Amino acid sequence: MNQTASSPAVAPLLRADNLGISYASSAGLPPEPVLTGLNLSMQAGEKVAMIGRSGSGKTTFLHACAGLLPPDTGSPAGSLAGTLEIAGHPLLQLNEQARTRFRRRYIGLVFQQFNLVPTLTVLENLQFVLALNGLPTHSGRPMQLLQQLQLKDKAARFPRELSGGEQQRVAVARALVHEPALVLADEPTGNLDIDNARLVARLLVQSCAEAGSTLLLVTHSSELPAGLDRVLRMQRGRLQSVEA
């Protein structure tokens, strides 16, 4: 079943129309479809979870939203079809530089593996994103976020000196520090114990709500945090159902 998942808002922040993505197979085999005819619309400030089994296409969609897939179709790298527009930017038509600029300004990323820059302290990790965007690094914003995420006393620590839960909370702070329009979280609790997973998930949703950022949370966990507006289910590259 191919289903359009949309909210009745006037100008959606994210709009995917008939989006199809396939990866090239090795040894000249035909491309393998990962997403097929995906339609989705998300309003600004919405908090949406996307669930599904491994290999269902969740992460690929997330990567596409972050501008991490090649734009041109018919290349040996695979093919793209349809439309994907975020904050008015037609992502599939942008070149690499434009997509990088877009990602830097509009997207906040939270990964399963934390992915903090190991050679920067907690505070510097946040400042790096601000500096990339040309924003003042010594404003109160990074410390305010760290306080909100209960990390104020860890500001001068390096990532290797933090626990997994703490590292993921830093990643959440980093994703929000430049007030992005859309926060993309890819299995953010996958590497954490239950308590830390709950804490991080709660803080993620809460912080996005406070910052007014839209959240797309990809997970295969059945335990979802409170405060989500919608839950989308992916199966074999298609959106199968929408749960309120």
Under 8 Å CB-to-CB from 129, ≥6 apart: which residues? 104, 174, 177, 178
Of 42 and 69, nearer to another protein (C-beta) is 69
Residue 237 DSSP SS3:
coil
Of 77 and 224, nearer to another protein (C-beta) is 77
CB of 19 to another protein, least distance (A): 17
| Cα-Cα end-to-end distance for the chain | 18
- The H or E element spanning position 239 is strand 238-243
Side chain identity, residue 237: G
CB of 54 to another protein, least distance (A): 17
Name which of 82, 81, 35 is nearest 59 in CA terms.
35
CB of 8 to another protein, least distance (A): 32
CB of 220 to another protein, least distance (A): 21
Of 138 and 226, nearer to another protein (C-beta) is 138
Of 52 and 180, nearer to another protein (C-beta) is 180
Distance CA 135, CA 182 (A): 18
CB of 39 to another protein, least distance (A): 24
- For binding to another protein (CB under 8 A), which residues are involved? 23-24, 63, 66, 68-71, 75-78, 95-97, 100-101, 103-105, 107, 109, 115, 117-120, 124, 127-134, 137, 160, 174
Of 179 and 229, nearer to another protein (C-beta) is 179
Q: 212 exposed, middle or buried (CB, 10 Å; 0-12, 13-18, 19+)?
A: exposed
Give, as one character, the DSSP assignment of residue 153. G
CB of 63 to another protein, least distance (A): 8
Of 163 and 241, nearer to another protein (C-beta) is 163
Residue 197 DSSP SS3:
helix
